[in-house]
Structure 1
Amino acid sequence: MVHKRFIVAGMVATLFFTACKTQNIKMSESKEEKTTNKKVVVYQVFTRLFGNKNSTNKPWGTIEENGVGKFNDFTDKALHEIKDLGVTYIWYTGVPHHALVRDYTAYGISNDDPEVVKGRAGSPYAVKDYYNVNPDLAVNPANRLKEFEDLIARTHKAGLKLLIDIVPNHIARKYEGKNNPEGVKDFGADDDVNVEYKRDNNFYYIPKTHFEIPDGDIPLNGEKNMLVDGVFDENPAKWTGNGSRKAKPDQNDWYETVKVNYGVRPDGSKDFPELPAGFDEKGYEEHFAFWQDKEVPDSWKKFKSIALYWTAKGVDGFRYDMAEMVPYEFWSYMNSAIKMKNPNAFLLAEVYNPQEYRNYIRLGKMDYLYDKVETYDKLKDVIRGKSSPDGLSDIQKGMSDIEHHMLHFLDNHDEQRLASPEFAGSPERGKPLMVVSTTISTSPTMVYFGQEVGEAGNEDAGFGKRSRTSIFDYIGVPNHQRWMNEGKFDGGKLSDSEKNLRDFYKRLLNFSINSSALMGSFQQIQSVNRQNNAGYDDLIYSYVRWSEKQKLIIVANFSSEKTSEFELKVPVDVISKWKLKDGSYYVLVDKLYSENKTYFTVKNGEGIARVKIKPSESFIYEVN
């Protein structure tokens, strides 16, 4: 079982936040202005796993048995190699201090009850103290914040920017802000616990009712622990993170967390000011000004203080967990405040409801949202034989006004690993998906550590099971460890196929961040090639990208078995836009592997290239 949560989240967001209905927003016909003239590539690392050299991988293993990575494992060499892969941002996942099962009382940290912690190492979504960092990640836990500040400095020195998580919808059941700045009170400190709801309460309550631990196995695999006694002291009980209003949540609920109240009443109505009509077209400065004389719920102020605290420490942006479970008015309030401090802050949100995308971008002032339920899900269906790639064109057309804001990924800490049998089945079958995901739009690309060396997530870690690399346990990541090579970060233990795979990712990502065409226009050429084109298999997908300086023709073969050979057609309207002369002749050179070349002629206004493409192969042809 995993903490995340797409089916549950969609249901809860629909039922609970009825107040977050989509407004009638004026749709722009023109493509929105790009915030950068180069592609952005985000490299996500699960911080506690990245530097772990221990390969014991015992299910339910302790930190002593299975090891853990530290901030200090991100050496100058490691960061250089990440940047050299073609990365511009690194997302350090799981940095804020969250609940875990380990004794840190010597450092003034209370023990967490295993009955409300998932796994030994704990969920990064159950934050216990937002003003400090996970003690597991420090060589000296007493000095843990300084060790992270040093990592911020090393990251910037390497030419990278960094993100950390903020989890606004819920916090750990036992939140203890022992490092609060002066004047900042703990969540719930001033709550009226005798009522279910009050605007300035930080939580929702079930008055006069004790919390009860959910039924099921205690998450320590039967090991004895003095805190495992069938009781967790929470009186009155609070609503659970996913919106469950039961004093005894189900084991499939997010029982390790409590829901934060943002001034949304239990019936879904809003208890705060709404943005005036037309604010979808206004910038962050005007959003910031709007909130200056408004009274807002206390939780809004607390999370704004948290974000500005980390911004002041040099964090370049945030990834917001389950952002759609929090009203977009709050995001307008907080994101505009962040942008006033750092106009270049990178603000990425986890949103899964396409009907809400434009609200969170234009009203919530998000820079980027996950493109999960559209592009990711479509690519997954294609490689699993459930769909043809033709529908990718409709997805791009449908999001043409916001495509720049939709971050693309194929692997992350919540999803099944790309190379796992449950997804692509092998790293090689994932290659054409990665080419399309990276090059089909101007949006950022995200890679999850280990993806570039074919990590398949095969471990039974204990609480976390195979196909996903566990985020709840102390565990090693085998393929990544072979690249890490005992801290040398030179790939010394990789197999030849793993080295070739990483070389493929390096070529693709570095090309993407330097290509002007990938920040330019898109047009599908799939439909014209699917009509009466002998040899153009139904698992081939093609499109063009261009700028004033560069013209690209991209072809991907999603079949893992069939070589296809055909005449690729570039339609008349594209040739006209490219201003290519009839009768002209060009060489097409693949930007991934320059030895792959073919010839391109323009005849009767149409471009034609003879293409032979092997299983799981892709070409990014530049017109020369």
Structure 2
Amino acid sequence: MISKKIIAAGITLTVLFSACKTKDLKMSTANEQTATEKKVVVYQVFTRLFGNKNTTNKPWGTIEENGVGKFNDFTDKALHEIKDLGVNYIWYTGVPHHALVRDYTAYGISNDDPEVVKGRAGSPYAVKDYYNVNPDLAVNPAKRLEEFEALIKRTHNAGLKVIIDIVPNHIARKYEGKTNPEGVKDFGADDDITVEYKRDNNFYYIPQQHFEIPDGDIPLNGEKNPLIDGKFDENPAKWTGNGSRKIKPDQNDWYETVKVNYGVRPDGTKDFPELPAGFDQKNYQEHFAFWQDKDVPNSWKKFRDIALYWTAKGVDGFRYDMAEMVPYEFWSYMNSSIKMKNPNAFLLAEVYNPNEYRNYIRLGKMDYLYDKVETYDKLKDIIRGKSSPDELTSIQNGMSDIEHHMLHFLDNHDEQRLASPEFAGTPERGKPLMVVSATISTSPTMIYFGQEVGEAGNEDAGFGKRSRTSIFDYIGVPSHQRWMNGGKFDGGQLSEPEKQLRDFYKRLLNFTINSSALMGSFEEIQTINRQNNEGYDALLYSYARWSENQKLIVVANFSSEKGSEFNLKVPSSLISKWNLKDGDYQMEDQLHQKKTFVLKVQNGQGEVKLIIQPSESLILELKS
């Protein structure tokens, strides 16, 4: 859903306090992870937009006017280039069949009422059929599932893994499972619609009341459509996806969706078995065993079966929309079932309440949550002049026990583009944010397609507005299209600055996925430099990352106007941990390769004379 907050999480860390008040965060290997593993990079693509070559970009444009991308646009060449960027996983966003305004009745698909569809292309989070895929994405809609299965195979052949969305909290108001497997009933098929709540109902109802179209948004911008008549047949009305219990939702409600009932009574109490004390320390096998003899709500079984259906087709993981609106006991049931089929499944959730992070990781058995509320928001505040880089340290230390599970990103389908005026303002100003986001913790890194070539989201797509690349409309993505170069995927139309930017992302991401230090220990060296270094600018931020075989110092300059020349102080605590004797040590910048510096150690203290340009970052590796 749009306009949300997020946070992520991971491996257990132990906090050690040094004499100089810095914290050394060391990974624990007790949480099914080892320090020898490498960082992971996720490349999110909005599947409908990725392959679109049409550059018309008319607001509210149709497919015929503005074009649409297809599964087949992800060619072997395209996938190779994504892999070569330094990527491990592709999250194909918007794959499940969702409500949209287009006539596919020739393929047995009913038309959707524009009054309960956002935009023309529709929200990917109003799923209409969980057992099939968006017909817009297929060259032949009758073979749409086969075309996606072929994409899964191509992706795997390229050495990449596949993530798709599951939206557990809500579904489209007009859900129709036209391709359900044998024995699978649609959501709500067996509901008792005479009552507001019953445990095994799939929905919540407002008995004896008809649903009413919300006021506000004009469907299709006023275009005529036979289904636009001020009515939508839903009797009795259901609760809306965001929990609204009104028969006539507000225009800001998620009116295009209905909320799924997971056995939580209207008063908020739970109508299902709860996990016993101590299960936050149990592994997924023990969680799976717990649920085997338990009677659980019908919706739990439906979503488990949906996830296992896609797992069986080769999908390697899922991104769960608004997961915190669904009880973590369900996630224990669901995720343990997935892990029993694929122990390496990548399970990523959208959770915004910091007080609930650990519950969804440890009890819900999530692998990762978005680190939106803390790291993302702080980096955005820093580049917009609203905060100091110093505060990044307290965030890192505060999440030390779950930092590996906190997926880092600066751009995604919900957020303002990194290069937009509303965020960093330019792609170059986003560079130091990207370096810190990708190197400060052991967590996975995610980038959004077009970010690596500076896409700013300047288009007025219709329902979707500027600064975000629209998820509701048929639209082109200009910077990405220049890289796509008519399907050659060779960057042939990119400007020189765009080529340089993509090269920066390629060097950075490939470094991260091959660095053992970035899966090792952390110590900030910001404090000693801010307090005892007059030449150290307030918009600089520095820290060390290391493993047994690799030692790094990262310095980022968030200022886009001022370069700095200074002697970076390296505290005795770090010199001791690195077992360095007095003397000179060469350090080589891993982002630029040709830049070398000298770490001078004297009396157990270290200094490196640095010159850093505006918006530049240095990743200095100690050479033996």
TM over 0.5: yes
In the alignment, does 2:335 pair up with 1:339?
Answer: no
- The letter for the 1-side match of 2:466 is R
CA distance in 2, matches of 1:349, 1:32: 22
In the alignment, does 2:30 pair up with 1:5?
Answer: no
SS at match of 1:55: coil
CA offset at residue 532 of structure 1? Answer: 2.7
**Equivalences for residues 68-107 of structure 1 within 5 A:** 68-107=68-107
- The letter for the 2-side match of 1:112 is D
CA distance in 2, matches of 1:27, 1:60: 49
CA distance in 2, matches of 1:27, 1:330: 27
Residue of structure 1 equivalent to 2:42: 42
Residue of structure 1 equivalent to 2:605: 606
CA distance in 1, matches of 2:599, 2:27: 29
Structure 1: runs of 5+ lacking an equivalent: 11-25
SS at match of 2:219: coil
**Equivalences for residues 141-540 of structure 1 within 5 A:** 141-540=141-540
CA distance in 1, matches of 2:574, 2:143: 59
CA offset at residue 27 of structure 1? Answer: 9.9
Is the 2:27–2:521 contact (alpha carbons within 8 Å) kept by the matching residues of 1? no
- The letter for the 2-side match of 1:6 is K
Greater RCO, CA 8 A, separation 6+: 2
Superposed CA deviations along residues 444-482 of structure 1, whole A, max 9, x for unmatched, are 000000000000000000000000000000000000000
CA distance in 2, matches of 1:46, 1:607: 47
Is the 2:13–2:27 contact (alpha carbons within 8 Å) kept by the matching residues of 1? no
Superposed CA deviations along residues 540-592 of structure 1, whole A, max 9, x for unmatched, are 0000000000000000000010111111011101110000002x211111001
Residue of structure 2 equivalent to 1:596: 595
CA offset at residue 28 of structure 1? Answer: 7.1
Is the 1:32–1:402 contact (alpha carbons within 8 Å) kept by the matching residues of 2? no
Is the 2:4–2:414 contact (alpha carbons within 8 Å) kept by the matching residues of 1? no
Superposed CA deviations along residues 178-211 of structure 1, whole A, max 9, x for unmatched, are 1111111000000000100000000000000000
CA offset at residue 594 of structure 1? Answer: 1.1
SS at match of 1:593: coil
CA distance in 1, matches of 2:434, 2:27: 24
CA distance in 1, matches of 2:605, 2:472: 55
CA offset at residue 32 of structure 1? Answer: 3.9
CA distance in 1, matches of 2:3, 2:575: 45
Is the 1:219–1:463 contact (alpha carbons within 8 Å) kept by the matching residues of 2? no
CA offset at residue 218 of structure 1? Answer: 2.2
CA distance in 1, matches of 2:167, 2:285: 24
CA distance in 2, matches of 1:565, 1:277: 55
Is the 2:13–2:402 contact (alpha carbons within 8 Å) kept by the matching residues of 1? no
Residue of structure 1 equivalent to 2:61: 61
CA distance in 2, matches of 1:481, 1:247: 43
In the alignment, does 2:553 pair up with 1:553?
Answer: yes
CA distance in 2, matches of 1:570, 1:516: 21
CA distance in 1, matches of 2:298, 2:149: 28
CA distance in 2, matches of 1:535, 1:574: 21
SS at match of 1:490: coil
**Equivalences for residues 540-579 of structure 1 within 5 A:** 540-579=540-579
Is the 1:360–1:366 contact (alpha carbons within 8 Å) kept by the matching residues of 2? yes
- The letter for the 2-side match of 1:360 is Y
Superposed CA deviations along residues 342-392 of structure 1, whole A, max 9, x for unmatched, are 000000000111111100000000000000000000000000000010010
CA distance in 2, matches of 1:609, 1:441: 23
Is the 2:600–2:607 contact (alpha carbons within 8 Å) kept by the matching residues of 1? yes
CA offset at residue 6 of structure 1? Answer: 2.9
SS at match of 2:79: helix
SS at match of 2:159: coil
- Name whichever of 530-539 and 488-497 sits farther off: 530-539
Task: Kindly tell me the number of residue pairs found equivalent between the two proteins.
Answer: 605
Residue of structure 1 equivalent to 2:18: none
SS at match of 1:258: strand
CA offset at residue 35 of structure 1? Answer: 3.0
Residue of structure 2 equivalent to 1:616: 615
SS at match of 2:302: helix
CA distance in 2, matches of 1:128, 1:370: 26
Is the 2:217–2:251 contact (alpha carbons within 8 Å) kept by the matching residues of 1? no
Superposed CA deviations along residues 276-324 of structure 1, whole A, max 9, x for unmatched, are 0000000000000000000000000000000000000000000000000
CA distance in 1, matches of 2:551, 2:569: 15
CA distance in 2, matches of 1:320, 1:216: 29
SS at match of 2:428: coil
SS at match of 1:295: coil
Is the 1:96–1:134 contact (alpha carbons within 8 Å) kept by the matching residues of 2? yes
Superposed CA deviations along residues 245-275 of structure 1, whole A, max 9, x for unmatched, are 0000000000000000000000000000000
CA distance in 1, matches of 2:297, 2:313: 26
CA distance in 2, matches of 1:571, 1:32: 24
CA offset at residue 595 of structure 1? Answer: 1.6
Is the 1:171–1:259 contact (alpha carbons within 8 Å) kept by the matching residues of 2? yes
Is the 1:114–1:218 contact (alpha carbons within 8 Å) kept by the matching residues of 2? no
SS at match of 2:261: coil
- The letter for the 2-side match of 1:280 is D
SS at match of 2:221: coil
Residue of structure 2 equivalent to 1:22: none
Structure 2: runs of 5+ lacking an equivalent: 16-25
CA offset at residue 5 of structure 1? Answer: 3.3
Q: 1:158 to 1:234 in 2, by over 3 A?
A: same
CA distance in 2, matches of 1:195, 1:538: 60
Is the 2:586–2:596 contact (alpha carbons within 8 Å) kept by the matching residues of 1? yes
SS at match of 2:511: helix
CA offset at residue 4 of structure 1? Answer: 1.9
SS at match of 1:429: helix
CA distance in 2, matches of 1:83, 1:38: 15
Is the 2:43–2:447 contact (alpha carbons within 8 Å) kept by the matching residues of 1? yes
Is the 2:3–2:415 contact (alpha carbons within 8 Å) kept by the matching residues of 1? no
Q: 1:492 to 1:311 in 2, by over 3 A?
A: same
CA distance in 1, matches of 2:392, 2:265: 39
Superposed CA deviations along residues 410-434 of structure 1, whole A, max 9, x for unmatched, are 0000000000000000000000000
Superposed CA deviations along residues 583-614 of structure 1, whole A, max 9, x for unmatched, are x2111110010122211110111110001111
Percent identity at matched positions?
A: 83
Q: 1:28 to 1:287 in 2, by over 3 A?
A: farther
SS at match of 1:81: helix
- The letter for the 1-side match of 2:354 is P
CA distance in 1, matches of 2:56, 2:537: 45
CA distance in 2, matches of 1:539, 1:432: 11
SS at match of 1:527: helix
CA distance in 2, matches of 1:490, 1:181: 41
- The letter for the 1-side match of 2:619 is I
CA distance in 1, matches of 2:28, 2:338: 21
